[in-house]
Structure 1
Amino acid sequence: MKSTLSSILVGCVVALALPWAHLAVADAAPDSAIRYVALGDSRATGSLHDPLSIRDGCFRTADAYPQIVADTLRAESYVSRACAAAKTENITEKTQFTITGPQPPQVGALRPDTTLVTVSIGGNDIAWSSLVEPCYTLAPGLDANCRSDATTAQRMNDALTVLGPKVSATLAAITEKAPAATVLLVGHGGIFGDRGCWPYIPTSDADAAFVVQFFVRMNSALADAARSNGAYFVDVAAAAVGHDACAGSDLRWFEGLVPRSFTMPLHPTHEGLRAMAALVVATRP
Structure 2
Amino acid sequence: MKARTRAAVIAGLAAVLTVWPGSAMSDTVADQGIRYVALGDSRAAGPYLDAAALLDGCARADAGYPNLVARSLQVVSFTNVACTGARTEHLTSVPQETTTGPMPPQIEALAPDTDLVTVSIGGNDVGWSGLVSSCYTDLPGGDAHCRTDPGTTSRMTAALDALGPKVTGALTAVRQRAPRARVLLVGHGGVYGNRACWPNIPTSDADAVFVTDFFTRMNRVLAASAAAAGAEFVDVTVGTEGHDACAPSEQRWYEGRQSLSLARPLHPTAAGMRHMAQRVLDAVQRNADR
Structures share a fold, TM > 0.5? yes
Percent identity over the alignment is 55
Task: Tell me, yes or no, if structure 1 residue 30 matches structure 2 residue 13.
Answer: no
User: Where in structure 2 are the equivalents of 1:117-196 lying within 5 Å?
Assistant: 117-196=117-196
Contact 2:69 2:277 in 1 (8 A): yes
| Cα offset, 1:47, TM superposition | 4.4
8 Å Cα contact 2:185-2:234 kept in structure 1: yes
Alignment correspondent of 1:114: 114
2:283 maps to: 283
Q: Is residue 255–residue 268 contact of structure 1 (8 Å, CA) maintained in 2?
A: yes
Give the whole-Å Cα distance in 2 for the aligned partners of 1:52 and 1:34.
Answer: 24
TM-score of the superposed pair, with normalisation by structure 1: 0.88
| Matched residue, 1:8 | none
Determine the structure 1 residue equivalent to 2:265.
265
- The C-alpha deviation readout for 1:60-100, integer Å capped at 9, x for no partner, is 11101000000011111101000000000000000000111
Partner of 2:71: 71
The structure with the largest alpha-carbon Rg is 1
Matches of residues 205-224 of structure 1 in structure 2 within 5 Å?
A: 205-224=205-224
Which deviates more from structure 2 when the two are superposed, residues 159-168 or residues 31-40? 31-40
Q: Which moved more, 1:242-251 or 1:262-271?
A: 242-251
Alpha-carbon distance in structure 2 between the residues aligned to 1:181 and 1:52: 28
- Structure 2 unmatched runs, 5+: 9-32
Greater length-normalized contact order (CA 8 Å, ≥ 6 residues apart): 2
Instruction: Answer yes or no: is the 8 Å Cα contact 1:47–1:269 preserved in 2.
Output: no
Match of 1:61 in 2: 61
Supply the AA of the counterpart residue of 2:206. Answer: A
Judge conservation of contact 1:47–1:270 (CA < 8 Å) in 2. no
The equivalent residue for 1:244 is 244
Q: What is the deviation of 1:52? A: 4.5
CA RMSD, Structure 1 to Structure 2 (Å): 1.3
Equivalent residue for 1:98? Answer: 98
Runs of 4+ with >3 A deviation = none
Aligned equivalents of 1:224, 1:50: Cα separation in 2: 34
* Partners of 1:37 and 1:118 within 8 A in 2: yes
> In the alignment, is the contact (CA less than 8 A) between 1:47 and 1:268 conserved in 2?
no
Whole-Å separation in 1 of the counterparts to 2:258 and 2:172: 37
Query: How do residues 193-208 of structure 1 correspond to structure 2 at under 5 angstroms?
Result: 193-208=193-208
> Secondary structure at the residue paired with 2:141?
coil
What is the distance in 1 between the residues matched to 2:184 and 2:241? 21
- Check whether the contact 2:50–2:63 (CA below 8 A) recurs between aligned residues: no
Question: How many residue pairs are counted as aligned between the two chains?
Answer: 258
